[in-house]
Amino acid sequence: MSEKRIDKKRIPLSVPNLKGRELEYVTEAVRTEWVSTAGPYITDFERQIADYVKVPEAAACQSGTAGLHLALRVLGVKPGDEVIVPTLTFIAAVNPVRYLGADPVFMDCDDTLTMDPKKLRAFCETECDFQNGILTDRQSGKRVSAIVVVHIFGNLADMEAVIDIASRYHLKVLEDATEALGSYYLSGRYQGKYAGTVGDLGVYSFNGNKIITTGGGGMIVSQDPELVKRCRFLSTQAKKDIVYFVHEEIGYNYRMTNLQAALGLAQLEQLEGFIRVKQENYDAYQEEKIPLLPFRSDIRSNHWFYSYLAKDRDGLIRFLDEHGVQSRPVWQLIHTLRPYLKNRCFQIEKADWYYDRIVNLPCSTSLSREEVTQVAALIRQFEMRQ
Specify if 26 maps to a domain: yes
The total domain count for the chain is 2
Rounded mean pLDDT, 97-105: 98
- Do residues 263 and 344 share a domain? no
Domain of 221: which CATH number?
3.40.640.10
pLDDT at residue number 323: 97
Rounded mean pLDDT, 10-14: 97
Specify if 354 maps to a domain: yes
Calpha distance 64→179 (Å, rounded): 10
Calpha distance 146→77 (Å, rounded): 7
Query: 96-106 b/e with 16+ CB inside 10 Å = b?
Result: bbeebebbbbb
2: pLDDT confidence band, cut at 50, 70 and 90? very low
pLDDT per position as a tens digit, 69-91: 999 999 999 999 999 999 999 99
For the beta carbon of residue 289, count every other beta carbon within 10 angstroms.
9
Specify if 2 maps to a domain: no
pLDDT at residue number 9: 85
Calpha distance 126→288 (Å, rounded): 46
Q: Is the pLDDT of residue 4 over 50?
A: no
Domain of 369: which CATH number?
3.90.1150.10
- Do residues 139 and 152 share a domain? yes
223: exposed, middle or buried (Cβ count in 10 Å: 0-12, 13-18, 19+)? middle
Both ends of the chain: CA-CA distance in Å?
Answer: 15
Rounded mean pLDDT, 268-297: 98
φ/ψ of residue 302, rounded to 5: -80, -5
- Mean of pLDDT over the chain: 96
- Do residues 222 and 185 share a domain? yes
8: pLDDT confidence band, cut at 50, 70 and 90? low
- Do residues 74 and 212 share a domain? yes
Specify if 3 maps to a domain: no
- Do residues 309 and 262 share a domain? no
CA 61 and chain centroid, separation: 15
What's the sign of the alpha-carbon dihedral 261, 266, 271, 276? Answer: negative
Nearest residue to 211 via CA among 32, 2, 363: 363
- Do residues 34 and 63 share a domain? yes
Specify if 127 maps to a domain: yes
Q: Which amino acid is at 310?
A: A
Q: Which domain holds residue 244?
A: 22-268
* C-alpha radius of gyration, the chain, whole number: 21
Q: Is the pLDDT of residue 321 over 60?
A: yes
pLDDT at residue number 183: 98
Q: Which amino acid is at 285?
A: Y
Q: Which of 205, 233, 268 corresponds to the end of one domain? A: 268
136: β partners: 129, 143
- Do residues 225 and 346 share a domain? no
pLDDT at residue number 99: 98
Calpha distance 200→225 (Å, rounded): 10
Q: Which of 206, 236, 268 corresponds to the end of one domain? A: 268
Return the DSSP state at 107: E
pLDDT at residue number 386: 76
pLDDT per position as a tens digit, 164-180: 999 999 999 999 999 99
Calpha distance 152→381 (Å, rounded): 29
Calpha distance 35→239 (Å, rounded): 20
Q: Is the pLDDT of residue 218 over 80?
A: yes
Return the DSSP state at 308: E
101: left (phi over 0), alpha (psi -120 to 50) or beta: left
Q: Is the pLDDT of residue 345 over 70?
A: yes
- Do residues 367 and 350 share a domain? yes
Specify if 111 maps to a domain: yes
- Do residues 42 and 66 share a domain? yes
Specify if 15 maps to a domain: no
Structural contact between residues 266 and 274, judged by C-beta atoms closer than 8 angstroms: no
- Do residues 298 and 249 share a domain? no
pLDDT at residue number 242: 84
Calpha distance 114→120 (Å, rounded): 11
Q: Which of 218, 244, 268 corresponds to the end of one domain? A: 268
Structural contact between residues 156 and 195, judged by C-beta atoms closer than 8 angstroms: yes
Rounded mean pLDDT, 197-205: 98
- Do residues 185 and 280 share a domain? no
7: pLDDT confidence band, cut at 50, 70 and 90? very low
135: β partners: 130, 144
Rounded mean pLDDT, 237-260: 94
pLDDT at residue number 69: 98
Calpha distance 218→31 (Å, rounded): 24
Structural contact between residues 97 and 75, judged by C-beta atoms closer than 8 angstroms: no
Return the DSSP state at 194: B
- Do residues 258 and 299 share a domain? no
Structural contact between residues 188 and 160, judged by C-beta atoms closer than 8 angstroms: yes
Specify if 380 maps to a domain: yes
